[in-house]
Amino acid sequence: MIDLFDRTAVVTGGGAGIGRATALALATRGAAVGVGDIDLQRAAETASLIADAGGRAVAVAADAASAADWTRLAETVRATLGRPSIVVNNAFYLAVAPATDLDEDGWNRQLAVSLTSVYHSVRTFAGDLAAPPGGAIVNIGSVHSRLAFPGHPAYAASKGAIVSLTQQLAVDLGPTVRVNAVLPGPILTPQWDRLSDEYRERAGRQTALLRLGRPEEVAAAVCFLASDAASYITAASLLVDGGYVVRKDEAEPA
């Protein structure tokens, strides 16, 4: 079992989906967890689930695009749980429109939440993570960094940039801080609730494992990369997609 006892972790977007699953998984493995989310009620629900299971957690209302909110998140976590040694950048936003139709506010908001938030996390927590024995950052990217889907230019740009930024940060923050990314594929989060059963079934069939993934399966990968079990892994981008990017069905004959 991965041991994260005596560690403190920060998870953004921790109120639902992959973020909630990750916060719970880190706590199950012994970490105290600062749960940041733009929706304080959802963050508090995650923190309550951790506390009910015997863990330690604090919920903080935080917009990952706001430098001021990052400062407040850090101050709260340090005061209640101690110095963080794990940061999981998971805040989610999705602007859907072709580049020709997407307005500048939508483009900027997408990059601010998905990409600039990683910059804010480093500016906020680099000193904590560098303190002995060192720490780990795990950035939640997407298969969108490898694949193109109609109407997702801002999302693809932000997730592609996360891969490059992860590599750069691994160099700049090493050797005391490891920086990795997880690239989820089709994962059954609340974002999929607005999609039809037919669409979800079709997406599952497009993976090598023939099903959608679960948030807990992404969380397990995050916990691994954050732990000493991954002590010689940095600058990696780990696909957790059930083989979504490699499966290609044969075209029907003309």
- pLDDT per position as a tens digit, 39-86: 999 999 999 999 999 999 999 999 999 999 999 999 999 999 999 999
Could you report the per-residue pLDDT of 90-122, keeping only the tens digit for each?
A: 999 888 899 999 999 999 999 999 999 999 999
User: Which position has the higher pLDDT, 199 or 50?
Assistant: 50
Q: What is the pLDDT of residues 4-44, one digit of tens each?
A: 999 999 999 999 999 999 999 999 999 999 999 999 999 99
Percent with pLDDT over 90 in the chain: 89
Q: What is the dihedral of CA 58, 48, 69, 91, to 10 degrees?
A: 120
Token output for 218: 């992404």
pLDDT the model gives residue 191: 82
What is the pLDDT confidence band of residue 195, given thresholds at 50, 70 and 90?
confident
What mean pLDDT comes out for the span 180-204?
Answer: 91
| Alpha-helical segments (H) within the chain | 17-28, 40-52, 67-81, 104-111, 117-130, 153-173, 197-205, 215-226
Any catalytic annotation for residue 155? yes
The domains of the chain are located at 8-186+215-240
| pLDDT in the model for residue 253 | 59
Q: Which of 155, 199, 232, 244 is catalytic?
A: 155
> What pLDDT does 88 receive?
98
99 alpha-carbon distance from chain centroid: 25
pLDDT reported for residue 194: 82
Q: How many CB atoms lie within 10 A of CB 108?
A: 14
pTM above 0.75, yes or no: yes
Helical pair 215-226 and 17-28, crossing angle rounded to 10 deg: 50
CATH fold group of domain 8-186+215-240: Rossmann fold (3.40.50)
- What does each C-alpha distance from 36 to 12, 86, 118 come to in angstroms? 5, 13, 14
244: pLDDT strictly greater than 70: yes
Q: Using CA atoms, how far apart are residues 148 and 128, in angstroms rounded to an integer? A: 36
Enter the tokens of residue 148. Answer: 């193109």
CB 227 within 8 A of CB 2: yes
Question: What does the pLDDT read at residue 196?
Answer: 87
